[in-house]
Amino acid sequence: YGQGEMSVNVPLGWTVRVDFENKGLAALPHSLVIINPVTPLPIEGGVPAFPRALTVKLVPGLLAGETDSFEFVADKEGRFLFFCGVTGHGVAGMWDYLSVSKEATLPSVHVTRKK
């Protein structure tokens, strides 16, 4: 998914664990950081919206087959972005949404395909 087609929703205060694997068939590196939605989007990297909410090698990225994991506490409400920090990737559409809400009681994932 990309360009906001996927939204992961979690309750406020929950610990979020992300297991990241670059499953790309091409030799393109990828990474992940949870950022505040800013305009314009960063060309590379990005400031994590939550402490420790990013993969290693944020700008150079992880190569195909490489993995990383991180955990953070979703301690503030709002809509954030799952964002690829490799140069040019996020601004090219490699981002989706993370929503944190005190009204949510369970995590959920919603997908809306764009035409």
24-71 pLDDT per residue, tens: 777 899 999 999 999 999 999 999 999 999 999 999 999 999 999 999
Sign of CA dihedral 87, 108, 50, 78: positive
Protein fold of 6-111: Immunoglobulin-like (2.60.40)
Contact by Cβ (8 Å): 54, 31: yes
60-114 pLDDT per residue, tens: 999 999 999 999 999 999 999 999 999 999 999 999 999 999 999 999 999 998 7
| pLDDT given for residue 66 in this prediction | 96
- Enumerate the domain spans of the chain: 6-111
